[in-house]
Amino acid sequence: MWYNTLIGEHLLLSDLLTEIKTTKGTNAKRMLMLENNSLLLRKILKYSFDPFVPFHVVKIPKTTERIPLADENTRWESFFAACDKCASRVITGNAAIEELKSAFSLVTEAEEKWMRKTLKKHIAIGLSTTTINKDFQGLIPTFDVSLAQKFDEKRVLKWNSMIVERKLDGIRCFCIVRNGGVVMYARSGKPITNFIDSIGPSLISMGDGCYDGELMGDDFVALMRQAYRKGNVETDKTFLALFDFCSLEEWDSKDSTTSYVDRLSTLYDRISTLDEGDNSVSYVEKETLSVAEDSDLVKVLHDKFVSEGFEGAMIKNPLAPYQFKRSFDIMKLKAFFDVDLKVDGLLEGRGKHEGTLGAFVVYYHGVKVQVGSGLSDEIRSEVWDNKENYIGRTIEIRYQEITPDGSLRFPTFVCFRNDRD
């Protein structure tokens, strides 16, 4: 196999991983990795970063005896063989624990440290999947789930009907149930392990397949900490709200032909098999609207959802298959906010807007903000030709949210507020 032997003279793998971790700068880390490139290195990277190779090991055992083998390659291969058995669920429970203990007894203490990190999918050497794939193309599979585009009413008009649901404010969670085991992933493909015990049994009882939803809790910050094991923070009433489903065959091939309405039917049927009182898994309630007769209700529902404390609305094409990418078959309509601010400066446009207004400069609580969206060509020309008339004018700005640095996300010009000047 492609990973069985080392090529040339290299650092011991455990020493190399430590050196990569402690080296500053991504380029320097990449150079170190390439200079010490080996098939063994590529395998440890794949096992550590590949989201599709779960090991199903909750408690990692500790070895009490250690007699390291002389050959480094053989030491690591004994560990990888144990990983393969755990990943394929050839061994589980105590058998998996004993297999890993046996593998740990044949390696050095430094190697065991990195092996334990690999089992946790957390070797933390300062390199991302994207960076690793730049140097070892295709080594780590990418995690592709359905993602939404911004709402475009013209595209909806091409549909006969639409499904509208609340946009939840939780943690995206894609769950794969296969052969009696479950793995939970964030949108990025990062494993979420801290809810396997509480939510996993319900998903497994629903049968093999891919369940797409959002982890919800009463405290989002605490939920994030618990999901990624930052401290011992726990959240009450944590549950998984499901909004989509696809078969394992569709997931494995990345090719879906099943319509959204049919996928929902399967999802509802499976959720209905859960025991009464099992609140760990639920589904997101939806409204089906006729495009011809009910399109105006989208904004009404959006406002209703926002008033209930949700982020906005999701609009979905009932006939679309599951798309393993960002697509206009799913669109999001999110809440925006308005603020009135005085114009402090004007910036010239670029490209086709050269010689006209490019953006207003305003200050939001002392933070400089440039507002260039929402401007018609007429306004751009008028303001630029009469700059002195617009400095100090009050404009209404619509934005999505406050950014962590105190600025406005997606600021858009709405109108001049003559009544506020």
Strand order across the 281-283 sheet:
181-185, 171-178, 209-216, 239-246, 281-283
pLDDT of residue 3: 34
pLDDT of residue 156: 93
Element containing residue 47 per DSSP (H, E) = helix 39-49
Higher pLDDT, 232 or 192: 192
Confidence class of residue 43 from pLDDT cuts 50, 70 and 90? very high
Confidence class of residue 86 from pLDDT cuts 50, 70 and 90? very high
pLDDT of residue 1: 30
Superfamily, domain 147-334:
DNA ligase/mRNA capping enzyme (3.30.470.30)
**Per-residue pLDDT for 4 more than 60?**
no
Confidence class of residue 189 from pLDDT cuts 50, 70 and 90? confident
- The structure's pTM equals 0.58
Average of per-residue pLDDT across 117-143: 87
**Per-residue pLDDT for 389 more than 90?**
no
Nearest CA to 243 among 172, 326, 156?
172
pLDDT of residue 236: 59
Tens digits of residue pLDDT in 243-286 = 999 999 999 999 999 999 999 999 999 999 999 989 999 999 99
The Cα 401–Cα 237 span in angstroms is: 27
Question: At 136, phi and psi to the nearest 5?
Answer: -125, 80
Place of tokens 């396997």: 196
Tens digits of residue pLDDT in 200-249 = 999 999 999 999 999 998 776 678 767 765 444 555 578 999 999 999 99
**Per-residue pLDDT for 173 more than 90?**
yes
Element containing residue 364 per DSSP (H, E) = strand 357-364
Burial of residue 236 (CB within 10 Å: 0-12, 13-18, 19+) is exposed
Domain ranges for the chain? 13-135, 147-334, 337-420
Superfamily, domain 337-420:
Nucleic acid-binding proteins (2.40.50.140)
